[in-house]
């Protein structure tokens, strides 16, 4: 089971910033049949080459309300070897029980693969995915503080404007003397 290409285009900004600034992705997977699982992230072109000719499913779309996953089945008769032996993975984990993969987001076209650790067919796994962006909390705090300061400033200006208008009676006029030569 693999995802379609996850295109992450950072427009070169990744070279200007520290590693990990764009966040991390965590993928948790556990076999429902008790088989050891493999979870890996690799360049989409490498995954396509690795899976070419084998029977596998590709996740096209995920809807969350109601939850539904759309798959596309690729037919093939090629038997895959052990995925952990391949050198294409940017990050991978494998073993029995729940497997948790944490990956620092990088620019490029990436695919996630979940399969039996021995490369056999018939994957039945529960998978959950989450993401974290460490600096997002700070952005929220700065935006909230700035909004609060602007609210106080606007309230003060409104108070000053209403107070000055209330102190001058309606219909009163100021007089000025103009001398024309």
Domain coordinates in residue numbering, the chain: 2-133, 135-168
Kind and range of the H or E run holding 159: helix 136-167
pLDDT digits (tens, 9 = 90+) for 144-172: 888 888 998 888 888 887 776 656 555 55
pLDDT digits (tens, 9 = 90+) for 77-112: 898 889 999 999 999 999 999 999 988 888 888 889
- Look at strands 108-116 and 37-43 and give their pairing: antiparallel
Confidence band for 131, pLDDT divided at 50, 70 and 90: confident
- Contact 168/54 with Cβ under 8 angstroms? no
Q: How far apart are CA 27 and CA 121, in angstroms?
A: 21
- Contact 54/107 with Cβ under 8 angstroms? no
Task: Tell me the torsion sign for CA atoms 105, 111, 117, 122.
Answer: positive
pLDDT of residue 115: 92
Output the six-digit token pair for 55: 């029977």
Whether the pLDDT of residue 39 is over 90: the answer is yes
| Residue 44 DSSP SS3 | helix
Output the six-digit token pair for 139: 């952005």
| Residue 86 DSSP SS3 | coil
Burial (CB < 10 A; 0-12, 13-18, 19+), residue 98, is: middle
> In this structure, how many other beta carbons lie within 10 angstroms of the beta carbon of residue 142?
10
**What percent of the chain is modeled with pLDDT above 90?**
25
Task: Point out the least confidently predicted range of 17-21, 79-83, 127-131, 147-151.
Answer: 17-21
């Amino acid at each position: 089971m693999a995802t379609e290409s996850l295109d992450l285009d950072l427009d070169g900004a990744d070279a200007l910033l520290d590693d990990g600034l764009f966040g991390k992705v965590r993928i948790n997977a556990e076999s429902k049949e008790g088989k050891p699982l493999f979870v890996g992230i690799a360049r989409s072109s490498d995954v396509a080459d690795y899976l070419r000719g084998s029977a596998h499913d590709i996740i096209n779309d995920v809807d969350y309300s109601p939850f539904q996953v759309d798959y596309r089945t690729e037919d093939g008769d090629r038997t895959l070897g052990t995925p952990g032996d391949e050198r294409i993975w940017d990050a991978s984990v494998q073993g029995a029980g729940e497997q948790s993969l944490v990956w620092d987001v990088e620019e490029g076209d990436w695919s996630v693969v979940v399969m039996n650790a021995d490369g056999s067919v018939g994957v039945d796994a529960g998978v959950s995915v989450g993401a974290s962006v460490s600096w997002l909390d700070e952005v929220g705090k700065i935006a909230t503080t700035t909004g609060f300061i602007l609210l106080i400033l606007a309230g003060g200006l409104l108070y000053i404007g209403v107070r000055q208008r209330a102190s001058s009676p309606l219909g009163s006029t100021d007089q000025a003397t103009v001398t024309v030569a």
